[in-house]
Amino acid sequence: MKHLPLLFWLICAACELSATGWAYGHGFAGARFFPATLSTDDPFVADEFSLPTISSVVTPDDGGTRDTEISSDIALRITPQWDIEFSERFITLNPSHGKAVNGFDNLSIGSKYEFFENDEHEAVVSVGLDVDVGGTGSKQVGADTFSTWTPGLFFGKGLGDLPQGLSLVRPLAITGLVGVAIPSSASTDGSPNPAALQLGFAVEYSLIYLQEQVRDIGLRAPFDRLIPLVEISLSDPLDRGQTGLITGTVNPGIIWSGKYFQVGAEAVIPINSRTGNDVGFIAQLHFYLDDLFPHTIGRPLFGGR
Amino acid sequence: MNRFKNICLILLLTGAAVAHAHAHAFVDHAEPPVGGKVKQMPQEVRIWFTEAIEPVFSGIQVFDAAGKQVDKKDTHLDPSNRSLLQISLPPLEPGTYNVVWHVVSVDTHATKGDFTFQVVR
């Protein structure tokens, strides 16, 4: 492992800080159905389960290292507005020179509270906290020995309240998050661990909404359940000499949402050479526990129907 | 590899265990069609949902362009199809009409929405 360059580990640290581990939610606001997004979190509190989420990117150390990850997330509602979330992932790092290593990343534990919903305007806002528990993962794959706390604000807004004259724009929706990843340790082995601003956005065009609320253009299954989208995920270090070393990706893709689950796939396009030079991918199978098990684990522990 | 097979098996068993589950009800299609234009006066609005629904907690309302309710307030399920909700209409003048619906599927999930259609000469 000693032969891997310092830049590689810095990138690993940046990725670690940028990966909030929030379980990605699906939900409704009025007539709007929002799918669970793949690369950024959305504001919904839900009962859901992702297995697997598979991603593969090449990190930009000298020669490049392929980072392949298989992860799983589960979110369960305590009350209709409050959930807890757990996330874990298995990482394989395959450097261009040297031996591949693999192991589990740190366990991620989170919680989210939805405090605002406006059905008429298809709007929702929530707050959340994710804790990446240091020392629970494998050092071989760069799992931090310190914890990272990431409080965040999440929002979602559908454009269904636009005038009828803009009907073809009404299927658009945006979700997003603003958070700050705060490491519990200032440095590790002499390398700084900066706090980082986390920004994520997803712009979605729902063919479900188009067919159901705006205009039946004749799409039938399975095409009437598609949601093309573009996600943007950014991490901007805020201190400890790392200010301005922003990393991020732009991820165009598509989600198909069924009765009980959704599948999605996106290209992962780095925004700069600091993030990477090659296009990667992410794909996910995601189950709606509230639809699968509406009378047991798919309902809030307290305050459900 | 064995672990992967075990995971697949668990997923398959999970799928089997939920074979009788239901889900949120979405609009599959409607007559008059969502956002469509019709020349013949519709006798009723019919909405096919993706799930069987509970009529007691479900309803349709139809409004004209001025916001006046014009339907006959007799929302009912089709006797032979629990996912088809309908409401009767009086003779309609040409114009744009707004259909507002809310349903609860048989597993108690609630959804709602609205759409327009036009009656043209």
Task: State ipTM.
Answer: 0.81
By C-alpha distance, which of B62, B83, B65, B85 is closest to B73? B62
Q: Say yes or no for a CB contact (<8 Å) between B34 and A216.
A: yes
In the chain, the amino acid numbered B24 is H
Task: Tell me, yes or no, if A2 comes closer than 8 A to chain B by beta carbon.
Answer: no
Q: What is the pLDDT of residues A160-192, one digit of tens each?
A: 999 888 999 999 999 999 999 999 998 888 889
Residues in chain B: 121
Q: Which of A49, A211, A287 to mutate to test the interface with B (most CBs of B within 10 A)?
A: A211
Tokens (6 digits) for A174: 């945006």
Considering the entire predicted model, what is its pTM?
Answer: 0.86
Q: If you measure CA to CA, which chain B residue comes closest to A224?
A: B28
Q: If you measure CA to CA, which chain B residue comes closest to A260?
A: B23
CB-based contacts of A255, cutoff 8 Å, min separation 6: A35, A36, A37, A38, A226, A227, A229, A262, A263, A264
Q: Say yes or no for a CB contact (<8 Å) between B23 and A30.
A: no
Buried b / exposed e along A51-63 (16+ C-beta atoms within 10 A): bbbebbbbbbbee
Q: Select from 2.130.10.10, 3.30.70.20, 1.20.1440.230, 2.60.40.1220 the CATH code of B22-119.
A: 2.60.40.1220
Q: If you measure CA to CA, which chain B residue comes closest to A30?
A: B112
Give the pLDDT confidence score for residue A21 in this predicted structure. 40
Tokens (6 digits) for B93: 């003048």
By C-alpha distance, which of A19, A1, A10 is closest to A98? A1
Chain A residues with beta carbon closer than 8 angstroms to that of B108: 294, 305
CB B103 within 8 A of CB B28: no
Tokens (6 digits) for B2: 């064995």
CATH code reported for the domain at A6-292: 2.40.160.40
Q: What is the mean pLDDT of chain B?
A: 86
Higher model confidence: residue A269 or residue A291? A269
Give the pLDDT confidence score for residue B19 in this predicted structure. 42
Which residue carries 């507005």 as its tokens? Answer: A81
Q: Say yes or no for a CB contact (<8 Å) between B116 and A164.
A: yes
Tokens (6 digits) for A53: 């989420």
Q: Say yes or no for a CB contact (<8 Å) between A294 and B115.
A: no
Q: What is the pLDDT of residues B82-120, one digit of tens each?
A: 999 999 999 999 999 999 999 998 878 899 999 999 999
Of B22, B36, B111, the CB nearest to A28: B111
Q: What are the sequence ranges of the domains in chain A?
A: 6-292
Chain A residues with beta carbon closer than 8 angstroms to that of B23: 259-260, 288, 291
Report the distance separating Cα A208 and Cα A212, nearest Å: 6
Of A33, A164, A292, the CB nearest to B18: A292
Give residue B22's pLDDT band: very low, low, confident or very high (50, 70, 90).
low
Q: Which of B1, B6, B18, B116 to mutate to test the interface with A (most CBs of A within 10 A)?
A: B18
